[in-house]
Amino acid sequence: MTTEEFVTLIKLYVPAFEPAHLPVPFRNLGLDSLAMIQVRVQIEKECGLVIPHKEWFKFLSFHDVADYLRLNK
């Protein structure tokens, strides 16, 4: 998944999201827990990769998620 595709996917749940927001902590993006779960499910579905729960708890931003996907693809 390219950065552009990743950002487009996130925009489905966070319409104002831009590439510059990738390193912004989740807590500063205004995501509630339901939206975060929806984003997670879509990311995993699109990538065909199930990210373990313990890894999700380590992520502080979407940049961390993107790095994980690049390293584990």
Three-state secondary structure of the chain: CCHHHHHHHHHCCCCCCCHHHCCCEHHHCCCCHHHHHHHHHHHHHHHCCCCCHHHHCCCCEHHHHHHHHHHCC
Give the integer Cα–Cα distance in Å for 56 and 54: 6
pLDDT for the residue 33: 86
Q: What is the mean pLDDT of residues 12-18?
A: 88
pTM score: 0.86
Number of domains in the chain: 1
The reply to whether 22 falls in a domain is no
The reply to whether 65 falls in a domain is yes
Residue 53's domain spans which residues? Answer: 3-17+27-71
pLDDT tens profile 29-64: 888 888 889 999 999 999 899 999 999 999 999 999
Amino acid at position 14, single letter: V
The reply to whether 62 falls in a domain is yes
Query: Which residues are within 8 A (CB) of 41 and not within 5 positions of it... i.e. 6 or more apart?
Result: none
Report residue 21's pLDDT band, with 50, 70 and 90 as the boundaries: very high
